[in-house]
Amino acid sequence: MSLRTGTQVGTTVAPIINPNNLKIEGFYCTSGGRKQSVLLYQDIRDVLPQGVVVNDADALTDPTELVRLKDLMELNFDLMGKHVVTVDKDKVGKVTDYATEIETMFVQKLYVSQSLFKSFATGNLGVDRSQIVEITKDKVVINDLLAKVPAGAKAVA
């Protein structure tokens, strides 16, 4: 949505996520007469329930012009559907959604669906970014879910 014209300038299709730091660098977009474009996160003015707000259609850039993001775009990294395992190689489930902090565009939490049997007992699982140890092209490795807490440790609110 354009602030200048009040009209729709395109539709976001998929995020461009940097797997090294889980930052959304931008979004692939489609627009009326144009081929696929990229909306950089810096050009986003606001995020509303109706969509993303930008100054105008000039915020959409041809992907070939984004030399700095070329390697990242070629990775075609996607969090959705990635297997989640613990450091001890225990299977946890698959990423079904994630939450992003709007100001910085960093992914803050992964939502993981577990196997049918586990989901009856515990439901879906939320994994904070601080629990992530490694991200590969095939999986997300997290700390053990039931990490041992030292005796006498105080709770933190």
71 shares a domain with 95: no
Domain extent at residue 121: 83-142
- The yes-or-no verdict on residue 50 having pLDDT over 60 is yes
- The yes-or-no verdict on residue 103 having pLDDT over 70 is yes
pLDDT at position 156 is 45
93 shares a domain with 64: no
- At residue 114 the predicted structure's pLDDT band, cuts being 50, 70 and 90, is confident
Question: Is residue 101, in this structure, part of any structural domain at all?
Answer: yes
pLDDT at position 59 is 92
134 shares a domain with 100: yes
DSSP code, position 68: G
User: Could you read off the pLDDT of 74-87 as tens digits, one per residue?
Assistant: 999 999 999 999 99
Q: pLDDT exceeding 90 applies to what percent of the chain?
A: 66
115 shares a domain with 71: no
- At residue 149 the predicted structure's pLDDT band, cuts being 50, 70 and 90, is very low
103 shares a domain with 63: no
Q: Which of 67, 73, 84 is nearest to 17 (CA)?
A: 73
pLDDT at position 155 is 46
90 shares a domain with 38: no
37-40 and 60-61: which strand pairing? Answer: antiparallel
Do 87 and 144 form a contact (C-beta atoms < 8 A)?
Answer: yes
Predicted structure pTM score: 0.81
88 shares a domain with 132: yes
The residue ranking higher by pLDDT, 96 or 147, is: 96
Q: What is 18-54 written as a DSSP string?
A: ETTTTEEEEEEEE-SSS--EEEEGGG--EEETTEEEB
- The yes-or-no verdict on residue 1 having pLDDT over 70 is yes
Sign of the C-alpha dihedral computed for residues 50, 125, 26 and 63 taken in this order: negative
Question: Is residue 4, in this structure, part of any structural domain at all?
Answer: no
Spatial CB neighbours of 56, under 8 Å, sequence gap ≥ 6: 2, 3, 4, 5, 9
> How high is the mean pLDDT of the chain?
86
pLDDT at position 157 is 42
23 shares a domain with 42: yes
- The yes-or-no verdict on residue 9 having pLDDT over 60 is yes
- CA-CA distance, 33 to 10, in Å (whole number)? 10
Number of domains the chain is built from:
2
CATH code: domain of residue 91: 2.30.30.240
